[in-house]
Structure 1
């Protein structure tokens, strides 16, 4: 009896909260009992069977009514909840999804920007810069340069790229933009800038003067013609700028290197990054605005392996970039030497 009492105590709270369901359950049990009881209990003969059927039918109807009442009550309880969900979270769902898409786009863009920034690397020594240039030259089919007079281009970049292209018998495209040697003002401005950084001679053993700036630029033009005459697969273009820049850009198919006058500081980025593509666009547009050197006339004045004074003078006259009248034969020879046997201005000192 105690167990039964405990069971009733546990059931009582549930039955109180769900009275209609409890009554329906109780009636269902009673109907089940009535259905299995003998007909004689309700009367004799057919009369007892009819009474039994009537009781079962009536109880069944009551059960169905209670079940319907329970369903209506549950719907009434759920209506405010559904209205809240529909008018609140679900109604706001499109805006939230749009916001989520914006956040996802922002995260993706940020991740891509961070990945690209990681590929813009600072070079902090001459050795690193030299190695970066060597990596840039390896297997490249194009080279774009913009800077001062192109001394390093003549001394290292152009000869190395030419040798590799000739060895593989492949095409090489070179685009160069340097200071206009015929513009005295920009030559003086560049020389003054270089002297303000250091009065000491660089690795070539020379100091920077206006005359040196002019000769270095003339030498780059001469080197372009000389190499073009000797390699048919070389497509080279030179532009002369009336403005100077404190940066130097070297761009190959694999990377871009931006250097300054400090030989121990530079930046590099791999092809495909935002920085690389931006530099490529800058160099193309800048070259289009520079005064073009007519390198298509490279056949008009054949240059010897060791160009003579007359050949050099005739070449510059033919491209409407005549040498200054004050230049003597020694100056012309100096230009030819710089063009074909330039010294690396950033050469590391040899260890003993």
Structure 2
């Protein structure tokens, strides 16, 4: 009822005209009103109609003026904001910096716990090339290299494999690496060994031996080994689908960058330049020394001599046997 009364009040002139028209019409039909009364009523109704039209036109004009004023004020405000918007959207503006930050976050995926192993397994299953850079290559010779070779065999495809590790003939870099590993854990690891200079050298020698051993047994494998006098606390595994960056501490999150991201290519360039600054091991010379399924101590000594990577003079048969076991019966220390 309140809404009805409000509507009648706001349209009083129209309601009044309607009531007059209905009343006069009824009187005209019943012949109770004279002709003069009817004519006067018609004039009154026309006057009310004209007044309603004039009022509507006045409202429309006022609304147009108000709209025009609002648009002009908005245009003035936009003109004042243009310099600020230009600064925000400029190449080095706030939006550009925010967009860069968001893109940087989205292109790098952080991996924790079991996600690291799953990411490595996925990368190994669908790649025809691999580049590793790290310490002694323990995980690479135990897991990455043999599994990549197996996947290449299953799909009947070739495999390009690159390894860059510390130089086992450089005692200084081996000492730095051993100190670094002991700083992470001074106790023996799952292999029951502590990280010493001697162990570091044996692990690196074992990776070189494993590379030659696999090369002689797979016609699908093209492998390159490089030795560096500089150590890195990071490990880089670059496949055809992604690059995975890890550290020796398994509690530290790993990073994965897919190939479609720009930083994948940046790391690919980084690894290339790092390889060029390291010493290449002439793996092709390993053909001079055929290796048995379980290489002998004598074969191993001759192999390293042919490669130009001499074993320490102090190494007896026992030390060489340790290298052979680490190379051929490599154990995954990160399980």
**TM-score, reference length from structure 1:** 0.69
For residue 166 of structure 1, report the CA deviation from its aligned partner: 1.7
1:336 aligns with 2:324: yes
**How big is the shift at 1:171?**
0.5
Residue of structure 1 equivalent to 2:116:
129
Aligned mates of 1:196, 1:10 — CA distance in 2 = 93
Partner SS, residue 268 of structure 1: strand
- Deviation of 1:114 after TM superposition, in Å, equals 2.8
What corresponds to 1:195 in structure 2?
Answer: 182
The corresponding residue for 1:154 is: 141
Residues 186, 99 of structure 1: alpha-carbon distance in 2 compared, 3 angstrom cutoff: closer
Contact 2:88/2:95 (8 A) holds in 1: no
Q: For residues 85-124 of structure 1, what are the alpha-carbon distances to aligned partners after superposition, in whole Å with 9 as ceiling and x for unaligned?
A: xxx9xx99xx999989857x99689657635522412222
Equivalent of 1:304 in 292, 317, 322: 292
Report the 3-state secondary structure (helix = DSSP H, G, I; strand = E; otherwise coil) of the residue aligned with 2:132: strand
Shift of 1:157: 0.6
CA deviation vs aligned residue, 1:227-286 (integer Å, no higher than 9, x gap): 111111211111111011110111111111111122132111221112322221111110
Question: Cα deviations across residues 20-73 of structure 1 (Å, max 9, x unaligned)?
Answer: xxxxxxxxxxxxxxxxxxxxxxxxxxxxxxxxxxxxxxxxxxxxxxxxxxxxxx
Question: Computing the radius of gyration over CA atoms, which structure comes out larger, 1 or 2?
Answer: 1
Match of 1:252 among 239, 245, 259: 239
Aligned-residue CA RMSD (Å): 3.5
Aligned equivalent of 1:290, options 278, 286, 289: 278
Q: 1:96 and 1:247, CA in 2 relative to 1: closer, same or farther beyond 3 A? A: closer
Helix, strand or coil at the partner of 1:217: helix
Distance 2:205 2:279 in 1: 14
Which one of the candidate residues 327, 331, 349 is aligned to 2:315? Answer: 327
Q: Counterparts of 1:166 and 1:9 in 2: how far apart (Å)?
A: 95
2:59 corresponds in structure 1 to none
SS at the partner of 1:257? Answer: strand
Q: How many residue pairs align between the two structures? A: 278
4+ aligned runs moved over 3 Å, structure 1: 1-12, 95-103, 105-113
CA contact (8 A) 1:239 1:290 kept: yes
1:203–1:343 Cα contact (<8 Å) kept: no
User: Which residue does 1:279 correspond to in 2?
Assistant: 267
User: Deviation of residue 214 (structure 1)?
Assistant: 0.5
Q: 1:300 to 1:109 in 2, by over 3 A?
A: farther
Q: Distance in 2 between matches of 1:194 and 1:99?
A: 49
Of 151, 161, 164, which residue of structure 2 is paired with 1:177?
164
Tell me, yes or no, if structure 1 residue 236 matches structure 2 residue 231: no
**Structure 2: distance between partners of 1:204 and 1:100:** 57
- Choose the corresponding residue for 1:145, options 123, 132, 140: 132
Q: 1:321 to 1:111 in 2, by over 3 A?
A: same
Alpha-carbon distance in structure 1 between the residues aligned to 2:181 and 2:118: 25
The unaligned stretches of length 5 or more in structure 1 are 13-83, 348-352
Aligned partners of 2:147, 2:49: CA distance in 1, in Å? 97
Secondary structure of the structure 1 residue equivalent to 2:287: coil
